[in-house]
Structure 1
Amino acid sequence: MDYIMKIKEKLTLSNIFTGIIVIFVLAMLLSPDFKGLMTQNLMKIGLFQPEVPKGPTDELAAGISANSKSEEILFKNPDGEIIELSDQKGKVVFINFWATWCPPCIAEMPSINKLYSEFRDNEKVMFLMVDVDNNRTSSQKFMDKKKFELPVYTPASSIPSSYMSGAIPTTLVLNKYGKVVFKHEGMGDFSNEEFKTFLTKLTIE
C-alpha cells in the first residue's frame, strides 16, 4: 500500500503534463510524418497561406524566364523521359521542389494533391513535383503510401538559384510565356480558393 501511495504522489498533474510535453517534442524532432501532421492541422485553421500576386503577371515576372536556351532547365518525367522546361510554353507550370524527409513538404502535400485533382484534366496546366534528392524510387514510394496522385519528376540539369536557392519546399508557377509569376519558399496551403483562382486566371491570359 505504501508503495502505491508513493507512485500516486509522483504522478502529479504537473509530472504528467511534463511527460506529455517531452513525448510531443521528441515526436516532433524524430518523426517528419508527425511534425507534418501537426503542421497540417495549423494549415486547416488558416495559417501558412501563400501570398498570391495581385498585379499584372507579366510585370511580376520581369527578368525570370524559363525560355532561355542558354540556360536550359531539364527534368526527368515519371516515364524516365527528359523534358525541357522551355518546351512547355503555352502551359501554366506548377513546380514544387521537395523531399521525403522534409516535414514542411509533407505538411503541404495534401493541399497540392487537392489542387492537382482539380486541374489534372486541364491540358493548359502542368504539375512538376521535383524530388531534390533525385531518388525516384523513394519519392514514388512516398506518394503511393500517402495515396497521392502527384507526378514525380527529378532534376536532369542544374537548377538556377533564381528558381531554388536551396530552401525546401519551394514552389514556383510559370505562366504560358515561361515567366515565373509566383515563387514561395516554405510550406503553403495551395488548395485555397484564392490560389485556385490565380491559377485559373493564368490559363486564360
Structure 2
Amino acid sequence: MNKKINVSKYIWNSIFVVIVLVLLFVPPAKAYVIQGLMQMGLFKPQVTELNAQKPADLSGIKFKDAEGNITDLGDLKGKVIFLNFWATWCPPCQAEMPSVEKLYQQFSKDKNVVFLFVDADGNFEKSKKFMDRKKYNLPVYAIGGYIPEGIFKGALPTTVVFDKMARISYRGEGAANYSDKKFLDFMQKLSDM
C-alpha cells in the first residue's frame, strides 16, 4: 500500500515538473495560459480619465514598413496612434495578439486612428510568416531610428496610445486584453475628440 502511494506521488510530481518546464520553454504554451487568464478577466489595460498632459514632440520618431516606407509619428498629429512593440518569440506578445487583432479590426476603417505594430527584432520575413500563420492583418513595422525611453524602454510587449494632440493617453508594459469593452470605449472616446 505504501509503495502504491509513493508511485502515485512520483507520477504527479513528474507531471507537475513537465508542465512547469513546458510553460518555461515553450512560448506558445505560456501564451495560451496567459490568454486563458485574459479570458477570466485578468490583464485588463488600466485606462484612466484623460489628463491635461503636455503634448509630446513626436517629430523624428520613425518606423519603416516591409516595403521601406518611413512613417514619422510627427506627421500623424491629429490622429490617435496605437503603437505596440512586440516580437514573435515573446509569449505575452503572442497572448495579447488576438485581442489586438480584434481592436484593429474594430478601428481599422476609422480615419482618426492609426495602428503601428512594431516588431522589435525588425525581422519582416519572420513577422510576416507569424502574421500569416495566425491569420492576423496587423500592419507590421520596424524601428526606423531613435525611440525616446518615455515611449519604449525595451520591455515586450509595450503599448502606447497617443491622443490627437500627441499626448500619451495610455502606456502599458506586459500583456493586456485590448478587446476589453472599457479599452474599446476609451479608444472610441479618443477618436471622437
**Match runs of 1:34-53 below 5 Å:** 34-53=29-48
Residues 33-60 of structure 1, C-alpha deviation per residue, up to 9 Å, x if partnerless? 1100111001100011110022x34x1x
1:89 maps to which residue?
A: 77
Q: Which of 142, 159, 170 does residue 154 from structure 1 map onto?
A: 142
1:3 maps to which residue?
A: none
Structure possessing the higher radius of gyration over alpha carbons: 1
Distance (Å, rounded) in 2 between the aligned partners of 1:185 and 1:12: 44
The answer to whether structure 1 residue 13 and structure 2 residue 1 are counterparts is no
1:180 maps to which residue?
A: 168
Distance (Å, rounded) in 2 between the aligned partners of 1:13 and 1:94: 51
Distance (Å, rounded) in 1 between the aligned partners of 2:8 and 2:115: 50
* Amino acid of the structure 2 residue aligned with 1:43: M
Distance (Å, rounded) in 1 between the aligned partners of 2:144 and 2:24: 32
User: Does the 8 A contact of 1:78 with 1:151 survive in 2?
Assistant: no
Q: How far apart are residue 10 of structure 1 and its match?
A: 8.2
Distance (Å, rounded) in 1 between the aligned partners of 2:143 and 2:189: 28
Distance (Å, rounded) in 2 between the aligned partners of 1:99 and 1:197: 27
1:106 maps to which residue?
A: 94
Aligned-partner SS, 1:108: helix
2:130 maps to which residue?
A: 142
Distance (Å, rounded) in 2 between the aligned partners of 1:65 and 1:197: 23
Aligned-partner SS, 1:12: helix
- The number of aligned residues is 191
User: Does the 8 A contact of 1:171 with 1:184 survive in 2?
Assistant: yes
Structure 1 moving runs of 4+ over 2 Å: 8-13, 77-80
- C-alpha root-mean-square deviation of aligned residues, in Å? 1.6
Question: What percentage of aligned pairs have identical amino acids?
Answer: 43
* Amino acid of the structure 1 residue aligned with 2:33: M
Q: Unpaired runs of 5+ in structure 2?
A: none
Distance (Å, rounded) in 2 between the aligned partners of 1:89 and 1:107: 30
Q: How far apart are residue 66 of structure 1 and its match?
A: 4.0
* Amino acid of the structure 1 residue aligned with 2:28: D
Q: Normalised by the size of structure 2, how large is the TM-score?
A: 0.93
* Amino acid of the structure 2 residue aligned with 1:97: F
Distance (Å, rounded) in 2 between the aligned partners of 1:200 and 1:78: 29
